[in-house]
Amino acid sequence: MKFTALQIAALLGGTVEGDPNVEVWNVAKIEEGAPGMLSFLANPKYTPYIYETKSSVVIVNNSFTAEKPVSATMIRVEDAYASFAKLLAFYDQMSQDKKGISSMAFISSSAQCGENVYVGEFAFLGENVKIGNNVKIYPQVYVGDGSVIGDGTTLYPGVRLYRNTVVGQRCIVHAGAVIGADGFGFAPQADGHYDKIPQVGNVVIDDDVEVGANTTIDRSTMGSTRVHKGVKLDNLVHLAHNVEVGENSALAAQVGVSGSTHLGKNCVVGGQSGFVGHLHIADGSKFGGQCGIMGSIKEENQEFMGTPIQPLRQYLVSNARFRHIDEMARKLDALEKEIERLKSER
């Protein structure tokens, strides 16, 4: 789909400087521009590229002053970065505006689908499933019996929702995510084998949550594993049974949260961090990458690093000292030898 500079300026509330009728149909970095491409300039260190870019249109800040001729048509806006992000969201929405139900999808007779729904090839909707309006279900998605999906949610290819999973409105679940598999519950027996503990709960995901590719969220033993509104989960995150993640928390790739741990609101967790089970983590807690969290956090808005975790400042001091440990060991060795020499001279 093609857009003119004038149409883009109208969408962004900007002004055109150059040819208002020049057309673009894709986006590119300013340093990699080509005819028909739309780019933006926000970071001053990329300014030299605006004089040589091949892009047809470049979005710039109102404050930008050209020191040399610019061949591209410029659209001046208050905030070039925010405006470009707005355009990307618009472009993404347009490019994925799929509608209709494929004849090769299987939808149970008891399932209910709202208006303007897309269901792709080989998708499966089980008994008593409820799908809201404007939902997009891509090919090969499995939605188990009794599951509910809210308005405007998108399930990308290969997503698996086990029975009775609830997903709120405007959520995004990326390819390969598995939501509602059994929690890891086993009872050790006297002879050494394990008896499986039935996991009869479910997973509830609130509105505006994004779940990364191949992330897994286990169903609860009883009750619900809960992901609250606005949470962002990266790829390959694992939430075990009965975990709760508070509103607007963000967990980076390969984070693992053990069973029955509760994270508060606005927590940030760096990649490859791990939580033991049955913890309570205070609101606003922040953990760097590869943290090992082995105890509850009671004080809000604290920052941590390391395994086991330490307060960030303490960790940085300890780490600085650790870098001198070889030197300290040599000094200690020399000191011990000096003491032994003095003793021998007595």
Over residues 276-324, the pLDDT tens digits come to 999 999 999 999 999 999 999 999 999 999 999 999 989 888 888 888 8
Number of domains in the chain: 2
Percent of the chain with pLDDT over 90: 86
Same domain, 66 and 214: no
pLDDT greater than 90 at residue 256: yes
Residues, the chain, total? 346
pLDDT greater than 90 at residue 338: no
> 37 pairs with which residues across the strands?
26
Same domain, 118 and 87: no
Same domain, 265 and 164: yes
Q: What is the mean pLDDT of residues 93-113?
A: 89
Same domain, 186 and 284: yes
pLDDT greater than 90 at residue 340: no
SS3 label, residue 205: strand
Same domain, 86 and 153: no
Task: Assess contact for 97 and 78: CB atoms under 8 A.
Answer: no
Same domain, 142 and 222: yes
Domain CATH code at residue 297: 2.160.10.10
Strands 256-257 and 142-143: what pairing?
unpaired
Same domain, 88 and 154: no
Residue 280 sits in which domain range?
101-315
SS3 label, residue 232: strand
In a domain, 335, yes or no: no
241 is an active site residue:
yes
Same domain, 143 and 74: no
Same domain, 59 and 178: no
Helix, strand, coil percent values for the chain (each to nearest 5) = 20, 30, 50
Share the mean pLDDT of the chain: 95
Pick the catalytic residue: 174, 193, 241, 324? 241
So what's the pLDDT on residue 91? 78
Task: Assess contact for 339 and 323: CB atoms under 8 A.
Answer: no
Same domain, 268 and 203: yes
Domain CATH code at residue 51: 3.40.1390.10
pLDDT greater than 90 at residue 150: yes
Residue with more model confidence, 270 or 324: 270
Same domain, 198 and 299: yes
pTM of the model: 0.81
Spell out the SS3 assignment of 167-179: ECCCCEECCCCEE
> 125 pairs with which residues across the strands?
107, 143
So what's the pLDDT on residue 199? 96
Same domain, 126 and 264: yes
Residue 3: pLDDT band by 50, 70, 90 thresholds? very high
Q: CA of 154: how far to CAs of 57, 100, 117, 120, in Å?
A: 31, 14, 10, 12
Residue 59: pLDDT band by 50, 70, 90 thresholds? very high
Over residues 113-126, the pLDDT tens digits come to 999 999 999 999 99
